[in-house]
Amino acid sequence: MPPPKPLTEPVQFFLEPQHPRHRQYEALRAYFAEGMPSAAAARRFGYTPGAFRVLCHAFRHGRVREFFVDTPRGPQIQTKKDPARPPIVAMRKQNLSIYDIHDALTPQGHRLSPTAIHEVLRAEGFARLPRRRDEERPQRPRPEQAAVADVRQFSGAPRRFATAMGGLFLFVPWLVRLALDDLVTAAKLPGTRMIPAAHAVRAALALKLTSTERRSHVMDLVFDEGLALWTGLNALPKTTFLSQYPGRLGPRRLATLLEGWVRTLRGHQALPGHSFNLDFHSIPYFGADEFVEKHYVSRRSRRQKSVLVFLAQDADTRVLCYCDADLRKGEEAEQVLAFVRFWTRQTGQPPPHLVFDSQLTTYRKLAALTAQGITFITLRRRTPKLLREMALHPRSAWRTVELDVPQRLYRTPKVIDQQVRLREYGKAPLRQLLIKDLGHEQPTVLLTNDAHATPSALIIRYARRMLIENGLADAVNFLHLDALSSAVALNISFDVLLTTIATGLYRLLALKLRGFERAQPRQIWRRFLKSPAHIAVTPTEVVVELPRRAHNPILIASGLLDEPTTVPWWNGRQLRFEIP
């Protein structure tokens, strides 16, 4: 018997097929056409006997018949691109861009996208066009270019024009009365010969007061002559200036401006300072900056990249009176003492009463507050051990108290008033209130060093802490606090400070409107300020003619429209309001 010959590559292709469809074909051919036994065919081509019988059954019933499939040939022409190829090439030789070519081809019936035109040009070997001057571009309607903001071009020529933001002029008397220009000068904020510091701050503040979301959106307002007059410029500054201006500010200048603003509000009785609500707020960041830390964002119920802001609010007038956006992880617990130092510098004595959440600081900082004679109310975290202890209290230990809040749904909670000692707080006891039947699943645990207030007074006061959360919600939705302007915390500090100033202006305005003393800024804006107006500039005054609106009687009764105001940045002209 001659020795077996080695398989050549062509023979091996048929006897040892590698592709699954080829192997199926050779195995079925050996069984059906050559009469090879089923077991031998299965063994030769690597099938188990059972799997090969299933394959044969499928072949008999026509389910495995397509072994050699013809590859369909695609179209040899591009039905849309090829007819348009000659005009595309001709127009590119005329130095037209992709979008110019697209606009020229559409009326001719060539429905090609800019991407398809780019593919044709690349296939023909054309490179990208260099940047062209305006005179090199095709003649077509273009956006108008607004004037460059320059205080030296501010015109006091007599004229009459319309503005879409007529209600914004109601803030001008307050800006004069509060001497915002002097505060900016005292803080040594930078400016230029074209846009002085006070004008820059007014321009940025105008975006806040009008609920303009981002600084880039100022381009929608640059042709509004009324807004330019409001700032004291010939035109509003553009996006580039407003975006770069916060980068020229430092923490000392911002702190000086904040201190001057709070001092001015106190002089106008807008900050009684009897009690304060404190809270943190995380401004989400959606960029790729690796140095932005992660904090808990309550609106999303998760930790994500964000900038942490600390805020303080006067409990009586609901005016934000302190802000700090230059915080890093690990500095949260110290912020309550930073606010105490800030308020002590303002008034000569620490704040008398603070209310805040359990996550705001530590028990050691609470002891420091007590040492300075500051009364506080906070929550205690409900640990499993504390929940077990509360469950062991008999029913007779819970005392029912009545809350004197007629509109409240849960007015009769049950309370256990006790004293506890916490190791980190020190040897002195703390007053602890266990409260249930407040509408929550788990009992609420209040901690306070106030030994004299009644349980009902403590519960009502802590419930009023929600005012700062409501104010934050309005600052986010109306003043766009969450429209993060930068990944740099100092830039964000200026934006948060503008939000603080805007809330104070709206609160001062609301306190003059009978029945709207507790209205939020968005409500004041919608009912009283969001309206167009006609403005007449004369050599001696600026007359703002407001339209008729349903709430004008309240505005007239407030007295805000009665007394003319001399405006320094209008070269001494007086502001006067008229309602036909």
Regarding whether 39 and 126 lie in a shared domain, the answer is no
List pLDDT tens digits, range 332-383.
899 999 999 999 999 999 999 999 988 888 989 999 999 999 999 998 888 8
pLDDT at 156 over 70: yes
Domain count, the chain: 3
Q: What is the pTM of this model?
A: 0.75
If pLDDT is split at 50, 70 and 90, which confidence band does 276 have? very high
If pLDDT is split at 50, 70 and 90, which confidence band does 7 have? low
Task: For residue 104, tell me if it sits in a domain.
Answer: yes
Contact yes or no for 123/133 (Cβ under 8 A): no
AA letter at 133: R
List pLDDT tens digits, range 199-238.
999 999 999 899 888 877 888 888 899 999 999 999 999 9
CA distance linking residue 538 with residue 153, whole number of Å? 17
Share the mean pLDDT of the chain.
Answer: 86
pLDDT at 11 over 90: no
410: which 2 tokens?
């849960």
If pLDDT is split at 50, 70 and 90, which confidence band does 436 have? confident
pLDDT at 186 over 90: yes
Regarding whether 32 and 128 lie in a shared domain, the answer is no
The per-residue pLDDT for 237 is 92
Task: For residue 390, tell me if it sits in a domain.
Answer: yes
What is the span of the domain harbouring residue 31?
A: 9-60
Regarding whether 453 and 363 lie in a shared domain, the answer is yes
Task: For residue 37, tell me if it sits in a domain.
Answer: yes
Contact yes or no for 27/44 (Cβ under 8 A): yes
List pLDDT tens digits, range 305-328.
888 889 999 988 888 899 988 888
pLDDT at 71 over 70: no
pLDDT at 10 over 90: no
Regarding whether 439 and 400 lie in a shared domain, the answer is yes
The per-residue pLDDT for 262 is 93
pLDDT at 5 over 60: no
**φ, ψ of residue 542 in degrees (nearest 5):** -120, 115
The per-residue pLDDT for 547 is 92
pLDDT at 293 over 90: no
Question: What are the distances in angstroms from CA 191 to CA 151, 291, 421, 484, 498?
Answer: 11, 30, 55, 23, 17
Task: For residue 155, tell me if it sits in a domain.
Answer: no
Contact yes or no for 55/28 (Cβ under 8 A): yes
Max Cα–Cα distance, the chain, nearest Å = 126
Mean pLDDT of 435-461: 87
Closest CA relative to residue 336, chosen from 294, 378, 289: 378
Regarding whether 456 and 361 lie in a shared domain, the answer is yes
Which residues make beta-bridge pairs with 313? Answer: 277, 320
Task: For residue 431, tell me if it sits in a domain.
Answer: yes
- Residue at a domain's end among 91, 107, 136: 136
CA distance linking residue 491 with residue 261, whole number of Å? 19
If pLDDT is split at 50, 70 and 90, which confidence band does 570 have? very high
pLDDT at 497 over 60: yes
The per-residue pLDDT for 423 is 85
CA distance linking residue 435 with residue 443, whole number of Å? 5
List pLDDT tens digits, range 516-547.
988 888 999 999 999 999 999 999 999 999 99
Regarding whether 96 and 127 lie in a shared domain, the answer is yes
CA atoms within 13 A on the CB side of 144: 6
CA distance linking residue 101 with residue 465, whole number of Å? 61
CA atoms within 13 A on the CB side of 115: 0
In the chain, % of residues over pLDDT 90: 34
The residue to which tokens 């502001």 are assigned: 575
Higher pLDDT, 96 or 144: 96
Regarding whether 367 and 458 lie in a shared domain, the answer is yes
Mean pLDDT of 172-193: 93
500: which 2 tokens?
């603080």
Write the CB contacts of 541 (distance below 8 Å, at least 6 apart in sequence): 564, 573, 574, 575, 576
Task: For residue 206, tell me if it sits in a domain.
Answer: no
pLDDT at 267 over 90: no
Closest CA relative to residue 239, chosen from 175, 146, 132: 146
The per-residue pLDDT for 517 is 87
352: which 2 tokens?
């008398």
Q: What SS3 state is found at 316?
A: coil
pLDDT at 95 over 90: no
Task: For residue 156, tell me if it sits in a domain.
Answer: no
Write the CB contacts of 501 (distance below 8 Å, at least 6 apart in sequence): 180, 205, 208, 261
From start to end of 180-301, where are the E strands?
276-284, 294-297
Closest CA relative to residue 216, chosen from 224, 206, 227, 207: 207
Mean pLDDT of 250-277: 90
Regarding whether 454 and 374 lie in a shared domain, the answer is yes
Regarding whether 377 and 426 lie in a shared domain, the answer is yes
pLDDT at 501 over 90: yes
| Burial class (CB within 10 angstroms; exposed 0-12, middle 13-18, buried 19+) of 415 | buried
563: which 2 tokens?
């007394």
CA distance linking residue 206 with residue 229, whole number of Å? 11
- Residue at a domain's end among 446, 463, 480: 463
Regarding whether 87 and 56 lie in a shared domain, the answer is no
The per-residue pLDDT for 2 is 54
Task: For residue 116, tell me if it sits in a domain.
Answer: yes
Regarding whether 363 and 458 lie in a shared domain, the answer is yes
- Residue at a domain's end among 435, 463, 491: 463
